[in-house]
Amino acid sequence: MVNYQEIKQTLVEKKHHLEDKLKDPNLLSEQKVEIQNAIDNYDYIIELTEMNHYKRGTLIEGTSNNE
């Protein structure tokens, strides 16, 4: 079984690594945008991981989208 805490920790570490790279004053503006987009993606992936772990975002049995 996949360990939620390990996955989240790995994702957060990768995000922090990118945040550290973003502090480099020698980066070109295109590189900054690319790194920031990657950071935003990690934020989204972390949010999805949490939703999956806590089973948020799933439909409750007996309900429909037509209500």
10-49 pLDDT, tens digit per residue, is 999 999 999 999 999 999 999 999 999 999 999 999 999 8
Vertex 57, ends 51 and 59: CA angle to 5°? 145
Residue 62 domain flag: no
Predicted confidence at residue 53, as pLDDT, reads 77
Give dist(CA 59, CA 29) in Å, integer: 42
Predicted confidence at residue 25, as pLDDT, reads 96
What is the span of the domain harbouring residue 15?
4-53
Residue 36 domain flag: yes
Residue 64 domain flag: no
- What pTM, to 2 d.p., does this model score? 0.75
Residue 65 domain flag: no
Residue 34 domain flag: yes
Domains: count for the chain: 1
Residue 58 domain flag: no
Residue 59 domain flag: no
